[in-house]
Structure 1
């Protein structure tokens, strides 16, 4: 089983089967795939019948290859796994922005590598910055980036619960299952 296939199985197990919580903006969801995402990928059936195989294919295509987390994996496999999980829960754009913000904040005022645009895309500049950070900081580099991403993600969840009281129903689960 590929690394990404293992990550997908973990997400599907964590997300569970069919849910349709009244406070969840995603609406009807199965295996963590919202109805909107399923429709965008051509699935028109009842969400409570979405096949696991279709969910897995959506995860691989849209949450691994499309945002280019497979490119991150070449340098930092644990970080790629974190970005994938964050992307599934918050959107891949948010996950990439967290990475880019963290890299900029950790470049020691440009001494280790130049700041990069927070453009929410994994491109050559982001990959070069990541490679430079890992080369400069060594074996702990991935763990530090994961902590930074977790911190940004956790702060986002708390702000979301504070600004939208209906989201408080999900805060405990987000912090339990998505951080750390």
Structure 2
């Protein structure tokens, strides 16, 4: 799946304009919050945010900048999950999930060295992912994806536990963002 398809899926899931009272993100359109839109040069009413602007923001901030496009060359399904997680939780959190999962799956550093869990997907993270895929093959991508989704699911539940207003979103997060 390419980035255009991933963006289409996110926009379909996020919908048009929304300003839910429990959402700390405030007004959103196409899943882009007002603060993100403003930080990327959009000054208009969020109800009128052009889809093309949202698509460009998704590509730049949630695909190219965090280097998930490079992950796609090694593990396409994992890159799709990182993109979606990055949109919903932040790209650093998505990167941390990848790094934590790779560390836990490296058989005590027999397959590759542990990674610093900083959320930045760079050369070391990509090398570890490549080594993991070489050792575990295509089936390994499925297992890595499950590990990332387990971390994501745990975080959603913790968010709802810490802030009861997030319970308004928990069912949808689990239904639409996990496996």
TM-score of the two chains, using structure 2 as the length reference: 0.99
* RMSD of equivalent CA atoms: 0.8
1:29 corresponds to 2:28? yes
Structure 2: 5+ residue stretches without partners: none
State how far apart, in whole Å, the 1-side matches of 2:37 and 2:172 are: 23
State how far apart, in whole Å, the 2-side matches of 1:127 and 1:11 are: 24
Residue in 2 that maps onto 1:103: 102
CA deviation map 1:129-149 (0-9, x unaligned)? 000000000111111111011
List aligned pairs for 1:143-158, cutoff 5 A. Answer: 143-158=142-157
Return the offset for 1:119: 1.3
State how far apart, in whole Å, the 2-side matches of 1:139 and 1:4 are: 21
Residue in 2 that maps onto 1:138: 137
State how far apart, in whole Å, the 2-side matches of 1:16 and 1:137 are: 37
Q: Which aligned segments of 4 or more residues in structure 1 are displaced greater than 4 angstroms?
A: none
State how far apart, in whole Å, the 1-side matches of 2:118 and 2:15 are: 32
State how far apart, in whole Å, the 2-side matches of 1:59 and 1:174 are: 19
Residue in 1 that maps onto 2:164: 165
TM-score of the two chains, using structure 1 as the length reference: 0.98
1:61 corresponds to 2:60? yes
